[in-house]
Amino acid sequence: MYNSKITGLGFYVPENVVTNEDLSKMMDTNDEWIQERTGIKERRWIKEGSEDTTAVMGAKASRIAIERAGLTKDDIDFIVFATLSPDYYFPGGGVQLQEMLDMRTVGAVDIRNQCSGFIYAMSVADQFIKTGMYKNILVVGSEFHSGGLDKSTRGRGVTVIFGDGAGAAVLSRTEDNTKGILSSHLHSEGKHAKELIVESPSIMHWVPALIAENDENDESYYPYMNGTFVFKNAVVRFSEAIIEGLQTNNLEATDIDMLIPHQANLRISQFVQKKFKLNDDQIYNNIMKYGNTTAASVIIALTEAWELGKIKDNDLVVLAAFGSGFTWGSVIIRW
Ligand code: ACO
């Protein structure tokens, strides 16, 4: 059996910076509340009229990752695309990426696992490489949240935490079984689906019916989140997923060189850091700058940490995420 290792990383965020101060002009909120509860100072939101979409940002991040892998688009055998905010209801972003990057007729699969999307995407790609089916897989997480958020005071509990952006990794075959993805761990608990959800449009709430109803009080278009409940589950599941990954590989928390948690909330990351007694060099957070970019967050943070030289050869890198579904998981990597 082969192993898969990351050979290229890239990320892209829109230029437009939206500060907490900017948000306070749209809704009843303030910088102090947002920073105290979430750690977020600013996020990027696609500006009206920009060419950026979920797929376009994914393509921009992908071009960087492919080049850094020392490959060309023609070396890529397969695409795995994670997002909760696809450009179309269908088809998914994977085929758009295949077209935008002019990648022959390689297969493309879409992952619908929200904040755990990139973890699931990595795991799916890893299986295809381990079995020998593919050599180089493009794994992408991208989100265009700002187009679908409720920017009135009604939506403030959700809207202030989300940002737009994309990240991409090239996963490549290696015959060195001591390096690369050691294991991945995926979970779900659908009974909590409605605690973090966008209900419409959906097969049950078709757009024309919604327009006909024209009910301005209908909040089902916007994300609903039971924030406290999600928070409480997140801290538990993050920890479980990390422990599961460590135990599978006979490792201890002290072996972690770099933890990249999904950037849901700085307080969640800090809780996990404290629980595993990690010092500040063993965890990387950038939610302060980008907010929660859902399926893009782990890969954006991983890429940035790597660009800053915080990840070195042979380091034990742990990726972990929790999100809507609920879904959660981890990926353990020997760099
Ligand atoms: N500005 C000012 N006040 C606000 C805002 C805001 N933006 N949002 C809510 N409030 C008010 C509320 O109305 C409430 O007022 P009340 O006490 O008078 O009713 C008060 O602040 C407290 O609100 P809570 O929702 O209890 O605040 P909490 O401390 O729980 O923080 C937060 C909210 C930041 C959303 C937190 O619960 C959280 O981070 N949850 C987890 C997020 C997460 O991990 N999501 C998973 C990934 S996302 C995905 O999968 C798509």
Cβ–Cβ under 8 Å, residues 2 and 132: yes
Count of C-beta atoms within a 10 Å radius of residue 194: 11
Q: What is the pLDDT of residues 56-110, one digit of tens each?
A: 999 999 999 999 999 999 999 999 999 999 998 888 999 999 999 999 999 999 9
Strands 136-143 and 107-111: unpaired
Give yes or no: residues 163 and 188 share one domain: no
Distance CA(305)–CA(41), nearest Å, equals 19
Give yes or no: residues 99 and 236 share one domain: no
Cβ–Cβ under 8 Å, residues 137 and 73: no
Task: Report the pLDDT value the prediction gives residue 196, as an integer from 0 to 100.
Answer: 95
Give yes or no: residues 47 and 64 share one domain: yes
Cβ–ligand 1 distance for 160 under 6 Å, the answer yes
Confidence of residue 39 (pLDDT cuts 50, 70, 90): very high
Cβ–ligand 1 distance for 298 under 6 Å, the answer no
Residue nearest to atom 29 of ligand 1 (CA): 37
Give yes or no: residues 141 and 230 share one domain: no
Give yes or no: residues 118 and 79 share one domain: yes
- Count the domains in the chain: 2
Cβ–ligand 1 distance for 37 under 6 Å, the answer yes
Cβ–Cβ under 8 Å, residues 305 and 57: no
Above 90 in pLDDT, residue 143? yes
Cβ–ligand 1 distance for 145 under 6 Å, the answer no
Look at residues 124, 154, 177 and tell me which one is the last residue of a structural domain. 177
| DSSP-assigned beta bridge partners for residue 196 | 225
What is the average pLDDT score of the chain? Answer: 95
Give yes or no: residues 169 and 268 share one domain: no
Above 80 in pLDDT, residue 29? yes
Give yes or no: residues 15 and 107 share one domain: yes
Task: Report the pLDDT value the prediction gives residue 36, as an integer from 0 to 100.
Answer: 98
Cβ–ligand 1 distance for 292 under 6 Å, the answer yes
The pTM of the full predicted model, rounded to 2 decimals, is 0.87
Distance CA(97)–CA(49), nearest Å, equals 21
Q: Is 42 helix (H, G, I), strand (E, B) or coil?
A: strand
- Ligand 1 centre from 38 Cα, in Å? 9
Give yes or no: residues 55 and 168 share one domain: yes
Above 70 in pLDDT, residue 208? no
Cβ–Cβ under 8 Å, residues 196 and 324: yes
Extract the tokens encoding 283: 């965890």
Pocket test for ligand 1, best of 27, 34, 37 (most atoms within 8 A of CB): 37
Task: Report the pLDDT value the prediction gives residue 211, as an integer from 0 to 100.
Answer: 62
Listed in sequence order, the DSSP H helices in the chain are: 20-26, 31-38, 54-68, 93-100, 117-130, 156-159, 207-213, 227-248, 266-275, 287-290, 297-307
Task: Report the pLDDT value the prediction gives residue 254, as an integer from 0 to 100.
Answer: 96
Closest approach atom of ligand 1 to CA 324: 50
Strands 180-188 and 327-334: antiparallel
Give yes or no: residues 22 and 156 share one domain: yes
Cβ–Cβ under 8 Å, residues 52 and 59: no
Give yes or no: residues 11 and 148 share one domain: yes
Look at residues 142, 177, 212 and tell me which one is the last residue of a structural domain. 177
Pocket test for ligand 1, best of 19, 32, 158, 228 (most atoms within 8 A of CB): 228
**Which domain range does residue 22 map to?**
3-177
Task: Report the pLDDT value the prediction gives residue 27, as an integer from 0 to 100.
Answer: 98
Q: What is the pLDDT of residues 284-335, one digit of tens each?
A: 999 999 999 999 999 999 999 999 999 999 999 999 999 998 989 999 999 9
| Cα torsion through 69, 75, 79, 80, rounded to 10 | -40
Q: What is the CATH number of the domain that holds 140?
A: 3.40.47.10
Cβ–ligand 1 distance for 113 under 6 Å, the answer no
Cβ–ligand 1 distance for 268 under 6 Å, the answer yes
Task: Report the pLDDT value the prediction gives residue 257, as an integer from 0 to 100.
Answer: 98
Catalytically active residues are: 115, 262, 292
Give yes or no: residues 62 and 106 share one domain: yes
Look at residues 121, 155, 177 and tell me which one is the last residue of a structural domain. 177
> Measured in whole angstroms, how far is the alpha carbon of residue 325 from the centre of its chain?
14
- Ligand 1 centre from 289 Cα, in Å? 19
Q: What is the pLDDT of residues 99-128, one digit of tens each?
A: 999 999 999 999 999 999 999 999 999 999
Contacts (Cβ under 8 Å, ≥6 apart) of 202 = none
Give yes or no: residues 148 and 248 share one domain: no
119-123, 128-132, 212-216, range with the lowest pLDDT:
212-216
Residue nearest to atom 36 of ligand 1 (CA): 227
Distance CA(227)–CA(49), nearest Å, equals 32
Task: Report the pLDDT value the prediction gives residue 205, as an integer from 0 to 100.
Answer: 75
Residue nearest to atom 46 of ligand 1 (CA): 323
